[in-house]
């Protein structure tokens, strides 16, 4: 020990340590000016908002590029434009990288990419979530093809980590060209209105090639991707709110695919009855209602995080807790297009079901679906192929699956929405349920077509046949009598019923056939 003391007192060592502190301070400070304009925060401010205070451990702080030409040899800032490392979110380990737009505009070069590769490899090895804070100008043109190869390494790691650790992309500035593919490969994409844009080719290229005039926001802004393209899962008005919601989402996810999500504190009694549910859903199948109100009555403290809230709004996908346990909810939304399934809703549901299955999150499906949306556009757009994605996702899921039919459940859409026949573990129905090949009116028109046509009063005959069909084949207990649902339950007691079923299924184990992978519909 005395030798160590002697070395530490050598003046040269203290000079070296002092120099190190200066270099580190310079690297942390980064280039002067341009740190944050308006609502735009710096990379380190963003990391500070994401992670628990004082928990960030940086990797590659002193990394610099080794490229030359085009003036690069004279510009070798520390970090090379990306801040990488790990920390904690509510005490749980999370890895992160954040583009620093002050350095080369956040553009990706060889050293920049290698830093990202390293932190991605560390996240996968540690079995912890990875959050990317994207704000870059694409590939660093001065470095040529090596920058493109750097993107390839990121994409390969995104795919390798898919379904193993949660991957969350937060787009906080431009994300153009090849850079846009990495967020598209991750589990969730967050964007901020007014500052975030994602596109493969910018407005200038679009104008040159097609003659279309469009702004950056109009081409790839947050609302465009949240409402039209479905690329963005969550859109917010400011960075602080956006990053706070990333923290909330992380609290609902497990660390990796070998764990379950952390159980939350229970302040809402599991046996709480909701008498309002009895009147919330109209018995008349043609009357709309808001399914999110039903969800609010069922889940703990009425809190849930809706995924893709503004896209394919005829289907609701949400993460919530029941008796403290995280569940994924897939629900028809009768308030939009009467809750029918279409191309976009099928894609939305399939992706969500796959995510929940990958990360051991039980599924609760609330069904009030009149069928698939008819029309030439839907058929030519491949509604069969896209609808099959949702069907495939449910059939392939091995997590606990509970299905509840609130009202309508018609045709193929009934089967696709996690019916017992495709593997739902427990199926329930409310006394307002109508499970059938189609609605009573349509069925009567087909089955009793001749009698109606030959009747003296066709309309009166049609009404009588509709009542007869409904009484024979669509009464609330028809499916239960034939074992297609396990029980018809009191709507007010639904919360307790779901919680008890989930508790029973907590130790469920199911194995898929041995195979390299399936070949899902595309």
Instruction: CATH number for 39-252: choose from 3.40.50.300, 3.40.1710.10, 3.40.190.10, 3.90.226.10.
Output: 3.90.226.10
Number of Cβ atoms within 10 Å of the Cβ of 86 = 20
| Distance (Å, whole) CA 128 – CA 119 | 11
pLDDT, position 304: 98
Report whether pLDDT(11) > 80: no
Residues 6+ apart with CB under 8 A from 87: 47, 50, 51, 52, 55, 56, 57, 93, 94, 96
Where do the structural domains in the chain lie, given as residue ranges? 39-252, 275-433+476-505
Cβ atoms of residues 99 and 173 within 8 Å: yes
- pLDDT the model gives residue 158: 97
What CATH number labels 275-433+476-505? 3.90.226.10
pLDDT at 3 over 50: no
39-252 matches 275-433+476-505 in fold: yes
What gap in Å lies between CA 232 and CA 334, rounded to an integer? 23
Q: What is the reported pTM?
A: 0.90
Q: Can you name the residues that pair with 90 across neighbouring β-strands?
A: none
Q: Cβ distance 38 to 51 under 8 Å?
A: no
pLDDT at 121: 97
Q: What is the pLDDT of residues 196-207, one digit of tens each?
A: 999 988 888 889
**8 Å CB contact between 303 and 335:** no
Q: Alpha-carbon Rg of the chain, whole angstroms?
A: 27
Q: Look at residue 367 and tell me whether its pLDDT is greater than 90.
A: yes
Segment 292-328, tens digit of pLDDT: 999 999 999 999 999 999 999 999 999 999 999 999 9
pLDDT for residue 26: 75
Query: Which residues are designated catalytic?
Result: 177-178, 412-413
* 3-state SS record for 213-245: CCCHHHHHEHHHHHHHHCCCCEEECCHHHHHHH
Q: Residue range 319-347: average pLDDT? A: 97
Q: Of residues 101 and 380, which shows the higher confidence score?
A: 380
d(CA 260, CA 355): 13
Q: Residue 132: CA atoms inside 13 Å, Cβ hemisphere, count?
A: 34
Mean pLDDT of 480-504: 95
SS3 state of residue 189: strand
- Kindly write down the DSSP assignment for every residue of 143-160, as one continuous string: GTHHHHHHHHHHHHHHHH
**Is 494's pLDDT higher than 50?**
yes
The answer on pLDDT for 452 being more than 80 is no
Higher-confidence residue: 495 or 180?
495
Question: What is the band of 460 on the pLDDT scale with cuts at 50, 70, 90?
Answer: confident
Q: What is the pLDDT of residues 52-98, one digit of tens each?
A: 999 999 998 877 766 656 656 656 677 678 999 999 999 999 999 99
Helices 494-505 and 291-298: crossing angle, nearest 10°? 70
Share the mean pLDDT of the chain: 89
């Amino acid at each position: 020990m005395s030798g160590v003391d002697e070395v530490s007192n050598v003046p040269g060592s203290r000079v070296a340590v002092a120099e190190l502190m200066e270099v580190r301070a310079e690297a942390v400070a980064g280039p002067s000016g341009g740190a944050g304009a308006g609502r735009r925060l710096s990379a380190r401010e963003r990391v500070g908002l994401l992670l628990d205070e004082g928990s960030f451990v940086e990797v590659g702080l002193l990394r610099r590029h080794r490229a030359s030409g085009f003036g690069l040899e004279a510009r070798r800032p520390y970090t090379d434009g990306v801040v990488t490392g790990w920390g904690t979110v509510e005490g749980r380990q999370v890895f992160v990288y954040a583009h620093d737009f002050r350095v080369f505009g956040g553009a990706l070069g060889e050293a920049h990419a290698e830093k990202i590769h390293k932190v991605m490899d560390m996240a996968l090895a540690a079995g912890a979530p990875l959050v990317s804070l994207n704000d870059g100008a694409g590939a660093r043109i001065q470095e040529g093809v090596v920058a493109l190869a750097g993107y390839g390494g990121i994409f390969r790691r995104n795919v390798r980590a898919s379904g193993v650790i949660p991957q969350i992309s937060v787009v906080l500035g431009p994300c153009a060209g090849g850079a846009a593919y990495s967020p598209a490969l991750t589990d969730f994409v967050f964007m901020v209105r007014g500052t975030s844009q994602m596109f493969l080719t910018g407005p200038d290229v679009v104008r040159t090639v097609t003659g279309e005039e469009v702004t950056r926001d109009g081409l790839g802004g947050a609302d465009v991707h949240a409402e039209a393209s479905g690329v963005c899962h969550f859109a917010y008005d400011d960075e602080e709110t956006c990053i706070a919601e990333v923290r909330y989402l992380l609290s609902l996810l497990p660390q990796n695919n070998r764990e379950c999500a952390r159980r939350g504190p229970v302040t809402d009694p599991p046996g709480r009855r909701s008498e309002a549910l009895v009147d919330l859903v109209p018995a008349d199948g043609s009357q709309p209602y808001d399914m999110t109100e039903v969800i609010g009555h069922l889940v703990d403290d009425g809190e849930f995080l809706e995924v893709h809230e503004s896209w394919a709004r005829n289907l609701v996908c949400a993460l919530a807790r029941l008796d403290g346990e995280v569940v994924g909810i897939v629900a028809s939304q009768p308030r939009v297009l009467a809750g029918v399934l279409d191309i976009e809703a099928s894609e939305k549901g399939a992706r969500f079901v796959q995510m929940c299955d990958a990360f051991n999150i039980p599924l609760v499906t609330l069904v009030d679906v009149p069928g698939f949306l008819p029309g030439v556009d839907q058929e030519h757009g491949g509604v069969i192929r896209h609808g099959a994605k949702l069907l495939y996702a449910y059939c392939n899921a091995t997590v606990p699956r509970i299905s509840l039919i609130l009202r309508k459940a018609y045709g193929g859409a009934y089967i696709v929405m996690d019916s017992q026949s495709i593997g739902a573990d427990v199926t329930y129905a409310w006394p307002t349920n109508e499970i059938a090949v189609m609605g009573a009116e349509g069925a009567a028109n087909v089955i009793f077509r001749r009698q109606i046509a030959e009747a003296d009063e066709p309309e009166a005959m049609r009404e009588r046949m509709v009542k007869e069909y409904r009484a024979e084949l669509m009464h609330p207990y028809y499916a239960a009598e034939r074992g297609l649902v396990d029980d018809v339950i009191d709507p007010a007691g639904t919360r307790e019923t779901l919680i008890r079923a989930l508790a029973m299924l907590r130790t469920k184990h199911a194995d898929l056939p041995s195979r390299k992978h399936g070949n899902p519909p595309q």
